[in-house]
């Protein structure tokens, strides 16, 4: 908001959508307080905001922009989904999902909100279900390459996206099986380190690998082992500690380069079926995980390469030097001797491909986006299931497929599934009876394209190309780091997918020009002796501790963490606004910490912000001011001149600070300006300078405290609304000083300050420095050996 208001003052057209998080929380709280049924929340967002805004004489036109709660947005999102189906950007397949029996209904349940069991893993089951997926992996390469162009994004986020996409170049190598069951003549292993193939000593396949499954029939032990492994992957902690376990199938494969070597085939609990081919060759000498496994099951660990000048065989630590380091390959089949690992990898892949021993492959960690949710809360997927025609897209004229209002939340699972009539519909293809899809879309879908929709929120199609071309792309996107990967990657995918459907253009492939990740508002946490969380209002906080207001008992103060309902460390925005006013809250949140960092909400800090705004108001009310619209008097006092200089310095510095997102520093400059103004006391003849300072203060503070600044402006009889006034310009002549103060160091320690003309040459500065009493005291008898003069900065005398 600060950036948007600043940009408007600089004369830009600003389309400034509000995120729903900020409004969502109060709306959600209000809905709960009023006992609104969760099924109505989607609609109650709008209702609550209407109730809040209409008394202020504001219309709620922009309510249409709220994603799931807006039938129009829902219709267009469903239309978009249908277009994606047509372009083969979405598909349905069977997949294992975490099936969460806890639906939105539980949010209304006190216990769950208390943080005892909300989403605790225990309630989540793994089920195999038919799911809808977006083909985001089709864009993996482009999504990765384009990250280089996102120059105004934080490096951190760019790196996280790169890692998430996780590109790797490797090769698929078939290992010929001996005495294998029907249909299996080779195991295909994926490797990014084929240069270490000489060090291969075993093959490990995933428990879910087809071969492993096929062998289960003949071995009860293997079946039991596999069943054990499948159970494991549910809880994360178990995953972390899980030991590398294996099961020897008794099968053997031939080493592709050295057919005389037979390698044992193991099933390993650490091999993932959904990465690569679900099978790896184990190279213990150059992979720690393989080495642990080999030591446990007494498998050999031959080196494929050594460090130069050190041929010690591998011990308990795998030899994995950086890929840019030079190593000495030992007896490498492609004749590679001394080379970097990276070079060795590339040459090995080329050599093996040429010999027909494997197929070079580029793989990504990125998976297709599973967008199905078995929840009520969300935009229904607009397809129907027809016995005769199968899966049929709904007709666009029937959109939106809205959610029913009468739903039963008393049982776990998706309430749409058991709705008595909602599923019944007519097949758009054959006209026969059909059933609606009950999966709803991941809410990330809603946020993946709202910025495009907002450019024309009433268009009959998902976007109005003309409006999109005018407004897009987003110049400055601001959000929390928690969106660094999912939301921002999905949106980048959506922009490409929408371009493919003609809703955007190629110029919109990167929808967010610049990204800023802001911190969160945090607060201390409080717990009583019984371990119950207490809200800040229930606690009396003093400098040396805290007690409960209810009974005066001591309260344990916990760390300051992100405000959350479950920890009760929440100060509701309405309460802040009621107590201090919205501008005080805005001012405080901006003033204390740099915006990319978390800010600690403290009552004392808010009070201080409040006091400052009051002080500015008093300064205005009590000051003797020149009439509005006057021009600067030519002959003014030193005090007036100093104030004018301070004013124009503030313009320069605050402007630079806002441009650089250093809002806390901008606010510090405004404190300084107010301080300079206050210092002038009741001295007469400062009317113009005071008016200038106050008008400037109002203008510079307006992005932070828009209402307060507007009041100040009006009290100063400023012309029109402050919102329409241009951003002030610093007067260059007032930024220049005739004389400056320079620090003088002797041997690097500051010993004195000298006053010199701003444009004094080095020789005269040196002379002035050496003449200074404080400096001479430290010179000693030998006198200076060397004098360093950094113009405008510092003088250093070396003795």
CB of 636 to RNA, least distance (A): 22
The label of the residue with tokens 């307080």 reads 33
Sheet containing 90-99: order of strands = 90-99, 125-134, 369-370
DSSP of 287-326, one letter per residue? -HHHHHHHHHTT-----SEEBTTB-PPP-SS-----TTSE
In the bound state with RNA, the residue whose beta carbon lies nearer, of 281 and 369, is 281
| Residues 543-572, mask of contacts with RNA (x by CB under 7 A) | x-----------------------------
Q: Applying CB under 7 A, does 278 fall inside the site for RNA? A: yes
Nearest to 768 by CA among 781, 779, 754: 754
Of the pair 217, 315, the CB lying nearest RNA is at 315
From the list 130, 227, 242, 554, which residue makes contact with RNA (rule: CB under 7 A)?
242
In the complex with RNA, the residue whose CB is nearer, 603 or 725, is: 603
Q: Do residues 292 and 282 make contact, with C-beta atoms less than 8 angstroms apart?
A: no
Contacts with RNA in 745-774 (CB under 7 A)? 745, 747-750, 753
Only one of the segments 131-139, 370-378, 670-678, 693-701 lies at the binding site for RNA (rule: CB under 7 A); that segment is 670-678
Other Cβ atoms within 10 Å of 332 Cβ, number? 21
**What DSSP letter does each residue of 729-779 carry, written as one string?**
---HHHH--SEEEEEEEETTEEEEEEEEETT--HHHHHHHHHH-HHHHTTT
- Interface residue with RNA, options 604, 735, 758, 762 (CB under 7 A): 604
Residues in 127-156 at the binding interface with RNA, rule: CB under 7 A: 155-156
Tokens coding 716: 């100063």
Give the residue with the Cβ less far from RNA, 67 or 484: 484
| Binding residues among 18-77 for RNA as defined by CB under 7 A | none
Determine, following the binding rule CB under 7 A, whether residue 706 of this chain makes contact with RNA. no
According to the binding rule CB under 7 A, does residue 348 interact with RNA?
Answer: no
Residue whose entry in the numeric block shows the structure tokens 């003609």:
502
529 φψ region: left (φ > 0), alpha (ψ -120 to 50), beta (else): alpha
Give me the least distance between CB of 424 and RNA, in Å please.
Answer: 40
For the CB of residue 363, give the shortest distance to RNA in the complex, in Å: 7
597 binds RNA (CB under 7 A): yes
Residue 358 interacting with RNA (CB under 7 A)? no
| Stretch 518-547 residues interacting with RNA (CB under 7 A) | 543
What is the x/- site pattern for RNA, positions 672-691, by CB under 7 A? Answer: x--x--xx------------
Q: Is 736 in the site for RNA (CB under 7 A)?
A: no
- The answer to whether 622 contacts RNA (rule: CB under 7 A) is no
Of the residues 111, 235, 288, 739, which one makes contact with RNA according to CB under 7 A: 288
Tokens of 325: 């380091």
The answer to whether 91 contacts RNA (rule: CB under 7 A) is no
User: Please, what is the Cα angle at 261 between 257 and 265, to 5 degrees?
Assistant: 100
Query: Could you identify the residue written with the tokens 């396949």?
Result: 205
Question: Which is closer to RNA, CB of 270 or CB of 409?
Answer: 270
Backbone angles phi, psi at 579, to 5 degrees: -85, -45
Do residues 646 and 673 lie in contact, with contact meaning Cβ atoms separated by under 8 Å? yes
User: Which position among 76, 212, 226, 796 is part of the footprint of RNA (CB under 7 A)?
Assistant: 796
Query: Which positions from 253 through 272 interact with RNA, judged by CB under 7 A?
Result: 269-272
Q: Which of 706, 775, 750 has the alpha carbon at shortest distance from 2? A: 706
Smallest separation (angstroms) from RNA to the CB of 118: 18
User: Nearest to residue 422, comparing CAs of 443, 442, 401, 440?
Assistant: 401
Rounded distance, CA 383 to CA 203, Å?
A: 44
Specify the stretch interacting with RNA by CB under 7 A; choose among 99-107, 235-243, 305-313, 714-722. 235-243
Instruction: Pick the piece of the chain touching RNA (CB under 7 A) from 166-174, 458-466, 500-508, 707-715.
Output: 166-174
Window 388 to 447, contacts with RNA (CB under 7 A)? none
22-40 CB burial, b ≥16 within 10 A, e <16: ebebbbbbbbbeeebebbe
One of 99, 118, 275, 333 touching RNA (CB under 7 A): 275
Check residue 639 for interaction with RNA (CB under 7 A).
no
The rounded distance, in Å, linking the Cα atoms of 517 and 155 is: 11
Residue 111 Cβ vs RNA, minimum distance, rounded to whole Å: 26
Contact region with RNA (CB under 7 A), list: 175-183, 354-362, 661-669, 759-767? 661-669
Measured from the CB atom, is 595 or 728 closer to RNA? 595
Residue 201 is encoded by which pair of tokens? Answer: 């000593």
Contact between 370 and RNA per CB under 7 A: no
Token pair for 412: 């776990």
Stretch that binds RNA, among 87-95, 496-504, 597-605, 754-762 (CB under 7 A): 597-605
Q: Which of residues 204-223 bind RNA (CB under 7 A)?
A: 206
Q: Of these, 199, 207, 256, 276, which contacts RNA (CB under 7 A)?
A: 276
Please identify which residue in 398, 461, 593, 639 interacts with RNA, judged by CB under 7 A: 593
Q: Please provide the DSSP assignment of 138-152 as one string.
A: GGHHHHHHGGGG-TB
CA distance 395 to 78: 10
Residue 160 interacts with RNA (CB under 7 A)? yes
Alpha carbons 523 and 564: distance in angstroms, whole number: 9
Candidates 112-120, 470-478, 480-488, 627-635: pick the segment binding RNA (CB under 7 A). Answer: 480-488
342 interacts with RNA by CB under 7 A: no
H or E segment at 459?
Answer: none
CA distance 449 to 452: 5
Among 19, 101, 149, 166, binds RNA (CB under 7 A): 166
How far from the centroid of its chain's Cα atoms is residue 401's Cα?
31
Tokens 């492609």 correspond to 334
């Amino acid at each position: 908001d600060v950036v948007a208001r600043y940009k408007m003052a600089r004369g830009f057209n600003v389309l400034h959508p509000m995120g729903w998080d900020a409004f969502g929380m109060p709306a959600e709280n209000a809905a709960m307080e009023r006992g609104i049924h969760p099924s109505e929340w989607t609609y109650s967002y709008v209702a609550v905001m209407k109730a809040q805004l209409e008394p202020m004489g504001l219309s709620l036109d922009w309510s249409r922009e709220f994603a799931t709660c807006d039938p129009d947005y829902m219709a267009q999102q469903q239309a978009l989904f249908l277009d994606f189906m047509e372009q083969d950007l979405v598909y349905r397949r069977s997949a294992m999902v975490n099936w969460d029996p806890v639906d939105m209904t539980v949010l209304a349940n006190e216990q769950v909100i208390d943080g005892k069991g909300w989403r605790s893993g225990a309630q989540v089951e793994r089920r195999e279900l038919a799911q809808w997926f977006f083909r985001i992996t089709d864009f993996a390469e482009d999504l990765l390459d384009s990250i280089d162009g996102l120059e105004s994004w934080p490096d951190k986020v760019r790196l996280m996206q790169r890692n998430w996409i996780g590109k790797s170049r490797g090769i698929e190598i078939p290992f010929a099986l001996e005495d294998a069951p029907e249909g299996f003549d080779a195991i295909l292993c994926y490797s990014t380190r084929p240069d270490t193939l000489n060090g291969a000593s075993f093959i490990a396949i995933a428990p879910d690998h087809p071969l492993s499954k096929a062998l289960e029939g003949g071995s009860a032990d293997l079946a039991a082992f596999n069943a054990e492994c499948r159970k494991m992957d549910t809880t994360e902690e178990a995953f972390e500690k899980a030991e590398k376990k294996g099961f020897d199938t008794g099968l053997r494969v031939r080493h592709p380069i050295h057919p005389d070597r037979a390698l044992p085939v193991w099933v390993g609990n650490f091999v993932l079926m959904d990465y690569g081919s679900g099978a790896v060759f184990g190279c213990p000498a150059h992979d720690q995980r393989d080495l642990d496994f080999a030591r446990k099951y007494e498998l050999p660990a031959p080196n494929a390469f050594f460090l130069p000048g050190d041929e010690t065989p591998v011990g308990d630590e795998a030899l994995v030097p950086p890929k840019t380091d030079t190593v000495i390959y030992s007896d490498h089949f492609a004749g590679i001797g001394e080379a970097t690992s990276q070079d060795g990898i590339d040459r090995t892949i080329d050599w093996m491909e040429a010999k027909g021993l494997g197929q070079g492959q580029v793989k990504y960690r990125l998976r297709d986006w599973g967008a199905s949710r078995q929840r009520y809360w969300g935009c229904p997927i607009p397809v129907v299931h027809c016995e005769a025609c199968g899966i049929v897209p709904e007709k666009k004229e029937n959109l939106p497929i809205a959610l029913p209002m009468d739903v039963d939340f008393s049982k776990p699972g998706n309430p749409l599934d058991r709705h008595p009539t909602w599923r019944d519909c007519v097949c758009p293809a054959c006209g026969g009876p059909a059933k609606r899809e009950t999966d709803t879309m991941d809410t990330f879908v809603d946020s993946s394209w709202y910025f495009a929709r907002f450019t024309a929120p009433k268009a009959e199609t998902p976007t109005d190309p003309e409006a999109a071309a005018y407004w897009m792309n987003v110049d400055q996107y601001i959000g929390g780091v928690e969106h660094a990967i999912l939301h921002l990657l999905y949106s980048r995918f959506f922009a490409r997918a929408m371009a493919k459907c003609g809703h955007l253009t190629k110029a919109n492939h990167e929808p967010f020009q610049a990204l800023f990740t802001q911190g969160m508002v945090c607060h201390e946490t409080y717990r009583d002796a019984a371990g119950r969380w207490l809200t800040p209002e229930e606690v009396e906080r003093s400098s040396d501790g805290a007690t409960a207001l209810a009974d005066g008992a001591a309260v344990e103060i916990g760390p300051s963490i992100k405000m959350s309902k479950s920890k009760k460390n929440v100060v509701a925005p309405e309460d802040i606004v009621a107590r201090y006013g919205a501008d005080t809250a805005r001012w405080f949140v901006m003033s204390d910490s740099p915006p990319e960092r978390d800010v600690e909400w403290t009552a004392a800090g808010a009070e201080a912000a409040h006091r400052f705004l009051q002080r500015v108001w008093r300064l205005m009310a009590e000051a003797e001011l020149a009439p509005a619209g006057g021009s600067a008097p030519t002959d003014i006092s030193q005090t007036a001149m100093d104030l004018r200089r301070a004013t124009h310095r503030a313009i320069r510095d605050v402007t630079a600070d806002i441009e650089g997102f250093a809002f806390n520093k901008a606010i510090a400059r405004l404190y300084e300006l107010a301080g300079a103004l206050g210092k002038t006391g009741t001295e007469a003849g400062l009317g113009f300078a005071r008016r200038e300072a106050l008008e400037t203060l109002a203008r510079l503070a307006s992005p932070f405290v828009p209402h307060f600044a507007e009041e100040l402006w009006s009290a100063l009889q400023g012309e029109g609304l402050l919102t329409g006034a241009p951003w002030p310009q610093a007067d260059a002549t007032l930024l220049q000083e005739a004389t400056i103060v320079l620090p003088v160091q002797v041997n690097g320690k500051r010993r004195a300050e000298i006053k010199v003309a701003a444009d004094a040459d080095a020789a005269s500065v040196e002379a002035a420095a050496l003449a200074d009493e404080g400096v001479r005291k430290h010179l000693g008898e030998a006198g200076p050996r060397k004098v360093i003069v950094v113009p405008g900065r510092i003088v250093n005398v070396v003795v």
